[in-house]
Amino acid sequence: MPRMKVAGLGALSGALAASLVVAVLAVAGAFDSETTSSPAAAPAAPVSRSSGGLDVAGIYERVKKGVVNVEARGGGNDASGSGFVVDDDGSILTNHHVIDGADDLRVRFGEDGDPVDARLVGSDPSTDLALLRIDPDDAEFEPLALADSKDVRVGEPAVAIGSPFGLRGSVTSGIVSALDRDIRAPNGFSISDVIQTDAAINPGNSGGPLLDARGEVVGVNAQIATNGVQANSGVGFAVPIDTAKEVIPELRSDGKVERAYLGVSSAEVNPDLARELDLPARRGALVQAVEDGGPADDAGLRGGRGQTAGGVVDGGDLIVRVGSREIADPNDLADAIGALKPGDEVRIEYFRGNERRSATVTLGTRPAQASRG
């Protein structure tokens, strides 16, 4: 069976780069801006999450006044994506990759709406999220309600609304297929706790809402897995709305998000790998490489040297605790560092061979792009 991969449809107007692993879903000049589709939807009230049914038409009627088509032009960008209103002040959430580099931003409400000028409030490539704002007097809209994505369960209904291939106002439905996925952000870092869905999403759905059975937003549609074709494969990914809730206040105040940075890459340790490599702990984050001159390097942490048959680099320090938090895997390490700020000092405990050691690390600021080394 051919291997499924995550491949990108870039927001830039140039050709697709086959080496990209970010499956961005913006449309780059694929359709004229006037191309639309008109899904039928009879007014109805969405059902509750626990009722066992799903009223897609009712959900669509409830939220359609808060979903937009985003058009990004200029600055080397020529793309179309989706977005949704999150506040009465005209704040609109979308994907970073939709608007990246553009200097002319417009949004359209509904299937036949006129373009409304928007400005960029802030953008965060590490979560692939961006916040736009329009003058609330320029359009009639209703902000969407935001759920708590931590409460989402596998198998629950999921509804996606957006502008696939420039076809504004399109709605699809499915289920939440999986949770806690990791995808690669546009700057090469990892986005964690991602929601997987089989609701059909395609290029142009980027930045649109993934909704639950109550019509509340649980995620921001961002990527698709493909098998060589840039279209829906039944495997789509949405950035959890809880992540957006953390990012939005910083985008409002500073226009960007500064994150703490340790400067290591690590691999997951499980009991089988621990036995194979004769590690002193059955769980942890095994350091693969340390960024030269980074915070971990300055504190004396070491990466590995020899690669195993499974592709893991052996011989590096095994991180098992950051501050008061036990580290079971690289996600724990990322979460522990992510909860801190640049300049914070944190005690890291690790094994070097069979010796348990500790180091106090002064965290740096995450660079704009992940190291490719």
What is the set of active-site residues? 97, 128, 206
| Cα separation, 361 vs 358, whole angstroms | 10
Quick one: tokens of 168?
A: 């504004």
Beta-strand pair 345-352/129-133: unpaired
Residue for token pair 């089988």: 272
Cα distances (Å, whole numbers) of residue 343 to 212, 258, 259, 287, 346:
39, 11, 10, 22, 10
Q: Roughly how many angstroms between the first and final C-alpha of the chain, as a whole number? A: 31
Q: What share of the chain is helix, strand, coil (3-state, %, to 5)?
A: 15, 35, 45
**Would you say 83 and 63 are in contact if contact means Cβ atoms under 8 Å apart?**
no
**β-strand partners of 310:** none
| Cα separation, 119 vs 106, whole angstroms | 8
Residue for token pair 């990791």: 182
Q: Is the dihedral of CA 311, 316, 319, 320 positive or negative?
A: positive
116 phi and psi angles, rounded to 5 deg? -120, 130
| Cα separation, 162 vs 72, whole angstroms | 15
Please enumerate in sequence order all residues whose Cβ is within 8 A of that of 225, keeping only pairs 6 or more positions apart, or say none: 4, 5, 6, 23, 233, 235, 236, 237
- Amino acid at residue number 190: S
